[in-house]
Amino acid sequence: MTSTMTAVETKPKKTLLETLPQKLGIADPWVDMGGVRWLNPGALSVRDLAKGMNAVQARFVTITAVQLPADQGIRLEYHWDLDGQLLGFPYQLSANSIESIYDLCEAVDWIEREIHEGFAVDFLGREYEPLLLRQGDKLGVNLREEKK
Amino acid sequence: MSYTIPMGPYHPALEEPYKLDLICEGETVQDAKLHIGFNFRGIEHLAETRNYIQVIALMERVCGICSNIHTLTLCQAMEKLTGQTPPPRAQYIRVVIAELERLHSHVLWAGIAAKLMGFKTMFMTCFELREKVMDILQAISGNRVNYSMNRIGGVNRDIEDPQAILGMIEALEREMVRTVIPIFTTSTTATSRCAGIGVLTHEKAISCGVVGPTARASGLPQDLRRAAPYAAYSEMEFDVPVQQDGDVRARLLVRALEIMESCKILRQALTKLPPGELSTGDAKVVFTTGTATSRVEAPRGEVMYSVSWKESSRNPSRVHVRTPTFANMPAIRWMVKGARLADTPLIQASIDPCYSCTDR
């Protein structure tokens, strides 16, 4: 039997993680909270963030959509993995839309479509096909609002 | 002239409903479109209407194979929000159940893969072995599917006789070494159906963000048990099997080798099981306002839970589940491109898809 048993490199890229905010042009420091290293992206666009994460070979994990209370809109939390460290970048949406990063990061395809279907967030610059919803259902409807 | 052949949502090769539209020219698949959502149950929304005890039972039902993994990940996230740390014995028991679940999942998959190869004898052998793993899980938890082992701050049940479980593990390992692994790795039937088909290249595996055995079979050595250890994994010695070919055979080999690594972990966990309490106790659980995230290496790859809570609330305000199949399934499109139509059932099965998990 031929096989490769690889001891995974466990040493985190500490220097890379420490210098990442500077590389992305973010002044704020990392904040450790609830198992995630959070970084406030400030004015950094999500597309520039995606380019930065691709440059350091981080692995896209997911986007979590959170509906905030009292008409505060929706927050999208972009998660990447850098050598076992989960990184989080929150984006508060002002007009329920944000640029798509699908052309930069293929792995976001399904989660962008799912969030579009469940939270009516418009990811600008891409086309949608139904993912979880079936033919005849209306796309781009906030299901939570519908529930109310 | 190209034509489209639908596979699913109900098809003999699919264990659960989903649909592949295969665009073919002759017998060759040129492209594929995937359709999911046939099992969509709105579980994430439902979780927001359940209290911290009910939500554990609910999330255990996201998946019928890796039910324990879902409660483990959820409980780890809720423990971060409540400031609880499970005692060492509970952490070891969590490892034991997680590895038994991996064994059960991998052997189940091997059986299904054998069936799709037309290797019925092997299907029967794998399912007989799977029964033995199920027997062990039943002996520990009293349940065969939803084990109800995890709670906030620990586990619900003890492993009272680790030696007896060790004996069962050794018998299982002997059978794996004697039959399953040699047949899957050396037999002409398995090799001719699996080698060189359904290739996911290393580069495509990176760009699709695949996880678990699917990633490891394409040369990506990622495993959260190593990279971000949880429970008692930091105290276990094991290797992470990696293959470079990215084909169905590589995915088969990775899982076969992982079965052996799971047995190795189980032996260590059961031998070193520390004495002590099973949980932090029955004191009232108090949540702080915030979001906590937990990730676990499930049999199919990384599971992530993001849980948000408001102080003094009994229910979570948001539970987001990212399952491994949700990350792996889009890669099927690239695996079937250029494949023979007859190979597509086995190729799509080679990621060990769980549609129930994916749809939630």
Structural domain contains residue A30: yes
Tell me the C-alpha distance between B223 and A84, whole Å: 8
Contact assignment for B37 to A107 by CB distance below 8 Å: no
- Chain B hits for A34, Cβ within 8 Å: 77, 80-81, 290-293
Show Cβ contacts of residue B53 under 8 Å, excluding neighbours closer than 6 positions.
none
Contact assignment for A110 to B40 by CB distance below 8 Å: no
Q: How far A107 CA lies from chain B's nearest CA (Å)?
A: 5
Domain span at residue A30? 14-147
Q: What is the pLDDT of residue A47?
A: 94
- Chain B hits for A31, Cβ within 8 Å: none
Contact assignment for B293 to A35 by CB distance below 8 Å: yes
Structural domain contains residue A93: yes
Nearest CA in chain A to B218: A4
End-to-end CA, chain B: 38
CATH number for the domain harbouring residue B177: 1.10.645.10
- Chain B hits for A111, Cβ within 8 Å: 322, 326
Structural domain contains residue A7: no
Q: How far A66 CA lies from chain B's nearest CA (Å)?
A: 7
**Is the pLDDT higher at B349 or at A89?**
A89
State how many domains chain A has: 1
Structural domain contains residue B195: yes
Q: What is the pLDDT of residue A133?
A: 63
Per residue in A1-32, pLDDT tens?
Answer: 445 554 444 445 567 888 888 888 888 888 88
- Chain B hits for A10, Cβ within 8 Å: 226-227
Q: What is the pLDDT of residue B222?
A: 92
Spatial CA neighbour of B212 closest among B227, B192, B232, B195: B227
Percentage with pLDDT > 70 across chain A: 78
Domain span at residue B55? 41-353
Structural domain contains residue B114: yes
Structural domain contains residue B198: yes
Q: Which of B36, B222, B224 sits opposite A131 (nearest CB)?
A: B36
Q: Do B194 and B117 meet the contact criterion of CB atoms below 8 Å apart?
A: yes
Between positions 90 and 119 of A, the ones with CB within 8 A of B are 105-107, 109-111
Structural domain contains residue A78: yes
Structural domain contains residue A5: no
Query: What type of residue is A10?
Result: T
Element (H, E) at A79: strand A74-82
Per residue in B143-186, pLDDT tens?
Answer: 888 998 999 999 999 998 898 888 888 888 888 888 888 887 78
Q: Which of B181, B185, B243 sits opposite A4 (nearest CB)?
A: B243
Structural domain contains residue B32: no
Q: What is the pLDDT of residue A143?
A: 67
Residue segments in chain B with a per-residue pLDDT below the cut of 50: none
pLDDT band of A138, cuts 50, 70, 90: low
Tell me the C-alpha distance between B356 and B326, whole Å: 10
Structural domain contains residue B260: yes
CATH number for the domain harbouring residue A126: 3.30.460.80
Structural domain contains residue A9: no
| Cβ of residue A134 closer than 8 Å to a chain B Cβ | yes
Structural domain contains residue B18: no
Q: What is the pLDDT of residue B15?
A: 75
Q: How far A54 CA lies from chain B's nearest CA (Å)?
A: 10
Contact assignment for A62 to B320 by CB distance below 8 Å: yes
Spatial CA neighbour of B211 closest among B122, B335, B300, B334: B300
Structural domain contains residue A4: no
State how many domains chain B has: 1
Tell me the C-alpha distance between B215 and B336, whole Å: 16
